[in-house]
Structure 1
Amino acid sequence: MNDYDVAVVGAGAAGLQAAQTLGRMHQSTVVLGTDRYRNDPTGHMHNFLGHDGTPPAELRTAARKDAEAYDDVTFRDAEVLSVSGSLGDFVLELAGEEPVRARRVLLASGVRDTLPAVPGVTENFGDLVAHCPFCHGHEYAGTRVGILGSAPHVGAMASMLGPIASELVVLTDGGALEESVAQTLARLGVPVVEAGVREVRREGSGLVVDLADGATVDLGGLLVKTDWALAGPFAEQLGLEVSEMGAVVVDAFGRTSVPGVFAAGDMAQGPGLPMPMASVLVAAASGQMAAAGCVQDAALARIA
């Protein structure tokens, strides 16, 4: 069984940046990842310094090449089934391969999204359908933009999109808005369509929404709310503290409630944040901070 200073679980932006940071600090590191990523449906990343418009896969390829240049970093394309143990002696069981032992574990395995069960949403997600106005809102500029659903966030979403869209429309899909949300939309002058949504389909460079009452709505883009959950079972296996949102609670250096276990990326919720910030750039930064936390804790242990 191979021993490492740190085992990084996940090879997205957070895990890859963590690997590079650990490699530069000469920490023996194994990165364990699969070929499944949250932003796979997205053709281009946005709102990332120096990489605006870059396909996510290109960034991952370049980042992995950077990390592989360090002798202390090893990549294994393997699925992690379980993590057990404690500080100084964690064991990671892998699918079809020998287990790995590590003194510390850095979880960057991300989350999985569940999209609204409306035909056409999944097929167009990551392009004309999105969940983040910071990542995709600008691409809908000057068009009518729809917001699907009746959740409390609808009012704030409409307010953020106001300077971007030429028009806005909220499609509740038969759901009932809270009175305060309805009042916010009325103040903003945003129309509300209460009919059920039968289908979302691409037409030309935009979308057509077919409603249950037979009407249609033309859109340049559609914002939806996803339900997400941790992609792996590791938080439960290790007994980590999770937030009300379901994310792993971490401090500024990615430390979880269990000594020796760190978390970064979309699965981790830092201090003062109401939820994880679903951004490639933020994920990479949190991977760097968690890696720094691993190095600092190891250094302090040596001089204690």
Structure 2
Amino acid sequence: MNATPGTAPHDPHDPLHDVVIVGAGPAGLAAALMLGRTHRDVVVLDSGVYRNDPADAMHNVLGFDGAKPSEFRAAAHQTLAAYDSVELRRATAHEVAPLDAARPADGFVVRTDTGDVAARRLLLATGVRDELPDTPGLDALFGTVAAHCPYCHGHEFSGTPVAILGAGPHAPHVAGLIERTASRVVVLADGADVDPELAAALAARGVAVRPEKVLRLEPVTLPGGHPGARAVLDGTAPEELGGVMVAPTLHQSAPFAAQLGLELRASGCVAVDATARTSLPGVLAAGDLAHTADFPMPVSSVIAAMAAGQLAAASIGADLLAH
């Protein structure tokens, strides 16, 4: 544990819900549906801020491939409205603590901008925040022309040149995933030295490496009307691109893991076991803020988050029956 969580007194006149879910992305919403179907008393706290806000469309979700993320959430909200025991509350949580630090499994209270919510079990589904490289112009392109996952966005770059920003160890893997859709692949080293073995691995795939510093990325329209980007390079001709793949640094989007003293993995994500349980009894975590030991990294996809939320809900149901 990183810290000892404090105690938050609970007014006995306030309701003690079965479950409070902090976060209303795919993981939190899927967990709420699972719990609602067994008539558990559930409150879902929705801040209105989501990791995929920059994305113009979501992919790899059957029935919603190419849909706006807001359309998916609207459909999920309509589904949950059929379950009377599930409350979707627009509120921003800012603090979480056990009702009794000596007996955390007795319940938790979540402080929000609309009041406190107490529950016997807590599910964290607040996700992570993407910290992008500081390349000028990248922020404005992220979620459309710039993306971090070839599975989620690579198809949309079909038939155009695609750049990988940064010559890190991820570059050959990303190049291998994107080469079937891109007309060509180039790595923008952004002025950094390139490891010789990495350069050889890229050359074996026919991937060129541009060593120059990337001064900025500019939005452009490619022939045929395809949206794209121009990578302006220091002292040489720019690259005209249909897509830019980036590798963001992940951070917890909320402070609750630190407040509760939860164990983290090297990825910075909350350590969970195969049943979504964290290092603190009574607290579960699902979605891309959580990381099991069986995977080298947290899985960032809508479907994986939904599956994790459903698994966490089943674990919560078992816990509540046992206690």
Give matches, 1:179-218, under 5 Å.
179-204=196-221, 205=226, 206-218=228-240
Residue 107 of structure 2 contacts residue 282 of structure 2 at CA under 8 Å; is this kept in 1? no
Residue 214 of structure 2 contacts residue 233 of structure 2 at CA under 8 Å; is this kept in 1? yes
User: The residue matched to 2:320 in structure 1 has which SS?
Assistant: helix
Q: 1:6 offset after TM fit, Å?
A: 0.5
CA distance in 1, matches of 2:70, 2:239: 33
Residue 92 of structure 1 contacts residue 101 of structure 1 at CA under 8 Å; is this kept in 2? yes
Q: Deviations over 1:226-245 (max 9, x none)?
A: 11100111111111111100
RMSD: 1.1
Residue 307 of structure 2 is aligned to residue 294 of structure 1: no
The one-letter code sitting in structure 2 at the alignment partner of 1:18 is A
Give matches, 1:122-201, under 5 Å.
122-201=139-218
User: The residue matched to 1:158 in structure 2 has which SS?
Assistant: helix
* Corresponding residue number in structure 1 for 2:4: none
Q: Deviations over 1:239-287 (max 9, x none)?
A: 1111100011112221111111000111011241111111011111111
Mean Cα deviation higher: 75-84 or 100-109? 75-84
Which residue of 216, 219, 237 corresponds with 2:259?
A: 237
Residue 111 of structure 2 is aligned to residue 89 of structure 1: no
User: The residue matched to 1:87 in structure 2 has which SS?
Assistant: helix
CA distance in 2, matches of 1:235, 1:180: 38
Residue 80 of structure 2 is aligned to residue 67 of structure 1: yes
CA distance in 2, matches of 1:274, 1:69: 38
Residue 207 of structure 1 contacts residue 218 of structure 1 at CA under 8 Å; is this kept in 2? yes
Mean Cα deviation higher: 17-26 or 206-215? 206-215
CA distance in 1, matches of 2:318, 2:294: 22
Q: Deviations over 1:144-173 (max 9, x none)?
A: 110001221112111221222120100011
Residue 21 of structure 2 is aligned to residue 3 of structure 1: no
The one-letter code sitting in structure 2 at the alignment partner of 1:152 is P
In structure 1, list runs of 5 or more residues that go unmatched: none
CA distance in 2, matches of 1:292, 1:178: 46
* Corresponding residue number in structure 1 for 2:46: 33
Residue 32 of structure 1 contacts residue 77 of structure 1 at CA under 8 Å; is this kept in 2? yes
User: The residue matched to 2:118 in structure 1 has which SS?
Assistant: strand
Q: Deviations over 1:118-156 (max 9, x none)?
A: 121111111111011010011111211100012211121
Q: 1:116 offset after TM fit, Å?
A: 1.2
CA distance in 2, matches of 1:118, 1:131: 15
Residue 128 of structure 2 is aligned to residue 108 of structure 1: no
CA distance in 2, matches of 1:180, 1:48: 36
Which residue of 255, 280, 300 corresponds with 2:277?
A: 255
Residue 152 of structure 1 contacts residue 177 of structure 1 at CA under 8 Å; is this kept in 2? no
Mean Cα deviation higher: 68-77 or 2-11? 68-77
CA distance in 2, matches of 1:179, 1:5: 56
Q: 1:68 offset after TM fit, Å?
A: 2.3
Q: 1:100 offset after TM fit, Å?
A: 1.2
Q: 1:89 offset after TM fit, Å?
A: 2.0
Which residue of 11, 20, 23 corresponds with 2:36?
A: 23
Residue 208 of structure 1 contacts residue 219 of structure 1 at CA under 8 Å; is this kept in 2? yes
Structure 1-normalised TM-score?
0.96
Residue 9 of structure 1 contacts residue 108 of structure 1 at CA under 8 Å; is this kept in 2? yes
Structure 2-normalised TM-score?
0.90
Residue 100 of structure 2 is aligned to residue 51 of structure 1: no
The one-letter code sitting in structure 1 at the alignment partner of 2:177 is M
Q: 1:28 offset after TM fit, Å?
A: 0.5
Q: 1:2 offset after TM fit, Å?
A: 2.7
CA distance in 1, matches of 2:318, 2:74: 28
CA distance in 2, matches of 1:195, 1:155: 19
CA distance in 2, matches of 1:272, 1:177: 30
